[in-house]
């Protein structure tokens, strides 16, 4: 599990950059370890 925290003062650009970098890292980790969770447990 990757734990992130959000601030009221983050800008939209910072959160978008961070979200994309983190998502890429998560995909890389899932490829390596091959046990991602089913989509049903992932929500926006």
Partner 1 sequence: MTDGLTAARPELPAAARDRRDPFAPLHENALAALLRDPAHPGSASVAVPTGGAPLPVTRYADGRDRINLGTGNYLGLAGDPRLIESAAAALRRYGTSTSGSRVLNGTTGLHLQLEEELADLYGTEAAVLTSSGVNANLALLSTVCTPDDVLLVDAHVHASLHAAAAASRGKVVRWQHNDLDSLAARLERLDPRAGAVVVVDGVYSMTGEIAPLRGITALCAQHGARLVVDEAHGLGVLGAGGRGAGEELGVLTDVDAVTVALSKSLASVGGAIMTSRAAADGIRASGMPYVFSAANDPASVAAALTALRILRAEPERVVRLQQNCALLRRVLADAGAGPIQGRGAVVAVPTGSEEAIPVPPGAPRSTPASTPTPSPTRPSRAAGACCG
Q: Which residues of the chain form contacts with partner 1 (CB under 8 A)?
A: 1-12, 14-30, 32-37, 39, 41-44
Q: Nearest distance from residue 40's CB to partner 1, in Å?
A: 10
**Residue 6, phi-psi category: left (phi > 0), alpha (psi -120 to 50), beta (remainder):** beta
Q: Nearest distance from residue 12's CB to partner 1, in Å?
A: 6
Q: Nearest distance from residue 4's CB to partner 1, in Å?
A: 4
* CA-atom Rg of the chain in angstroms: 12
Angle, vertex CA 9, rays to CA 5 and CA 13, nearest 5: 85
């Amino acid at each position: 599990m990757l734990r992130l925290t959000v601030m009221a003062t983050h800008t939209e650009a910072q959160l978008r950059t961070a979200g994309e970098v983190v998502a890429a890292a998560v995909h890389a980790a899932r490829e390596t370890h091959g046990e991602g969770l089913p989509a049903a447990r992932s929500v926006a």
